[in-house]
A and B are shown apart, each in its own frame.
Chain A
Amino acid sequence: MNEPTGLAVTSDHRDTAGSSEEPPPDQTLAPAEVAGRSPTQLAWRRFRRDRTGVISGAVVLLFFLAGLGAPVIAALYGKDPYTTYGQNQPGLLNEFGYPAKPNGGIDGQFWLGLEPSLGRDVFTQLLYGIRTSLLISLAVVLIITTLGVLIGVVAGYTGRWVDFGVGRVIDVVLSFPSTLFFIAFIPVIQSLFVPPDQETPTWLRATTVILVLSAFGWAQIARLMRGQVLSLREREYIEAARIAGAGPGRIIRAELLPNLWTPILVSVSMTVPTYVTTEAALSFLGVGMVEPTPDWGRMIHRGAEVYSADLSYMLAPGLAMLVFVIAFNLLGDSVRDALDPRAHR
Chain B
Amino acid sequence: MNRSTQRWAVAACAVVAFGATACSSGTPAGSTTGTQAPAAKQAVPIGTAADSKGPDPEVPGAKSGGTVTVYQRADFNHLDPARLYSSGNQTAALLLTRQLTTYQHVGDQTKLVGDLATDTGSTTDGGKTWKFTLKDGLKYEDGSPIAAGDVKYGIERTFQKELTGGPQYLQMWLTGKSDFSAAYPGPWQGQELDAIETPDQKTIVLHLTSVHADLPYTMAMQCYSPVPKAKDTHASFDQHPFSSGPYKIDSHDTDKSMALSRSTGWDAATDPARHAYPDKFAFSFGGQNLDIDQRLIAANGEDRNAMTFNVKVTADVAQQVMTNPELKARTINGLAPFSEYFAINNRRVTDVKVRQAIITAFPKEQVRQIFGGPLYGDFTTTILSPVTTGYENYDLYKVPPAGDPAKAKQLLAEAGKPNPTIVYAYASTTQWEQAAVAISDALTRAGFTVVRKPISDKDYYDEMGKVDNQFDLYWAGWGPDWPSASTVIPPVLDGRQIANSSGNTSLFDDQETKDEIDRISQLSDLTQAGAQWAALDKKIMAKAPIVPWTDSRQISVNGPGLGGLYQGFLGTIYPTDVFVK
- Which A residues are closer than 8 A to B by beta carbons? 84, 87, 93-98, 117-118, 187, 196-199, 286, 290-292, 298, 301-302, 305-309
Contact = CB atoms under 8 A, between A and B. Distances in A.
A118 B558 CA distance: 31
Contacts of B316: 305-309
Interface of B: 290, 315-320, 322, 363, 366, 369-370, 372-375, 423, 428-431, 433-434, 436-438, 440-441, 451-454, 456, 470-471
A93 B372 CA distance: 12
A118 B370 contact: yes
A78 B438 CA distance: 21
A98 B470 contact: no
A169 B454 CA distance: 35
A97 to B, nearest CB: 4
Contacts of A291: 433-434, 436-437
Given A87-B369, A95-B374, A117 B434 contact: yes
B265 to A, nearest CB: 46
Given A93-B369, A97-B369, A309-B317, 17 more contacts: A87-B363, A87-B366, A95-B374, A96-B375, A97-B370, A117-B431, A117-B434, A196-B453, A197-B471, A198-B451, A290-B454, A291-B437, A298-B430, A301-B430, A305-B430, A308-B316, A308-B320
6 contacts: A96-B315, A197-B471, A305-B316, A308-B290, A308-B316, A309-B318
Given A84-B441, A305-B430, A187 B369 contact: no
A85 B317 CA distance: 24
Given A291-B437, A305-B316, A84 B366 contact: yes
Contacts of A199: 451-453
**By CB atoms of chain A within 10 A, which of B322, B436, B437, B438 has the most?**
B437
A98 B369 CA distance: 9
A196 B466 CA distance: 13
B434 A118 contact: yes
Contacts of A95: 373-374
Contact of B428 (A84, A117, A197, A286): A286
Contacts of A94: 319
Given A96-B319, A97-B373, A308-B316, A84 B453 contact: no
Contacts of B429: 286
A84 B402 CA distance: 13
B315 A97 contact: yes
In order of increasing CB-CB distance, the 5 nearest A-B pairs are A196-B470, A117-B370, A291-B433, A97-B369, A197-B470
A96 B318 contact: yes
A289 to B, nearest CB: 11
Of B315, B372, B374, B436, most buried by chain A (CB within 10 Å of CB) is B315
Contacts of B434: 117-118, 291
A84 B367 CA distance: 12
B348 to A, nearest CB: 9
A118 B438 contact: yes
A87 B317 CA distance: 21
Contacts of A84: 366, 437-438, 441
B437 A197 contact: no
A98 B319 contact: yes
A286 B430 CA distance: 8
A291 B317 CA distance: 25
Nearest to A287: B428
Contacts of B319: 94, 96, 98, 309
A261 B437 CA distance: 46
Contact of B423 (A96, A197, A290, A307): A197
A93 to B, nearest CB: 7
Contacts of B320: 308-309
A231 B214 CA distance: 87
A87 B428 CA distance: 22
B373 A96 contact: yes
Contact of B438 (A87, A197, A306, A308): A87
A97 B433 contact: no
A96 B454 contact: no
Contacts of B290: 308
Contacts of B431: 117
Nearest to B293: A308
Contact of B372 (A96, A187, A301): A96
B369 A117 contact: yes
Given A87-B369, A96-B373, A290 B315 contact: no
A259 to B, nearest CB: 48
A307 B319 CA distance: 12
A98 B320 CA distance: 12
Identify the interface centre among B434, B438, B452: most chain A CB within 10 Å of its CB. B434
Nearest to A118: B434
A198 B472 CA distance: 12
A307 B315 CA distance: 11
Nearest to A117: B370
B370 A306 contact: no
A116 to B, nearest CB: 9
B372 A97 contact: yes
A247 B441 CA distance: 62
A308 B317 CA distance: 7
Contacts of A93: 369
B350 to A, nearest CB: 15
B313 to A, nearest CB: 11
Contact of A302 (B363, B430, B441, B470): B430
Contacts of B375: 96
A306 B369 CA distance: 14
B451 A197 contact: yes
A123 to B, nearest CB: 18
A147 to B, nearest CB: 31
